[in-house]
Amino acid sequence: MARVKRGTTSHARHKKVLDLAKGYRGRGSKAYRIALERVEKALRYAYRDRRNKKRDFRGLWIQRINAGVREHGLTYSQFIHGLKLAGLELDRKVLSDIAIREPEAFAGIVATAKSAIDTAPVAAE
């Protein structure tokens, strides 16, 4: 049976890891063992943060909407409630973009939400 030399396989595997570790400091980009640990940790962070990014952006949009709405005398939760009552289905990403780029249009949306709140029947307590 012929002897199998596996240098090319391990070299390719090491090269793949070291390419991913490019830009790391010190031996983190040079030594395979250390680079492997750093790359595995980086990939874990990347996987986790792809999910966290969605949360972070939603929080940012809510903060921007809240800031824009408070200029018109409402809170964020009152505004969202007013939108639901008015039947306006705009997502938070779009609302925050409108609040920043087109304040006049946002003022109109806030006015619509306010009027929906004012005309809504009050629940019996």
Domain ranges for the chain? 8-119
Name the pTM for this structure: 0.79
CATH number of 8-119: 1.10.1900.20
Tens of pLDDT, residues 16-51: 999 999 999 999 999 999 999 999 999 999 999 999
Residue (of 119, 115, 102, 91) closest to 68 by Cα position = 102
Torsion sign over Cα 97, 102, 105, 106: positive
Give ∠ CA 50-52-53 in degrees, rounded to 5: 65
Name the average pLDDT for the chain. Answer: 94
Q: What angle do CA 42, 44, 48 make, to 5 degrees?
A: 115
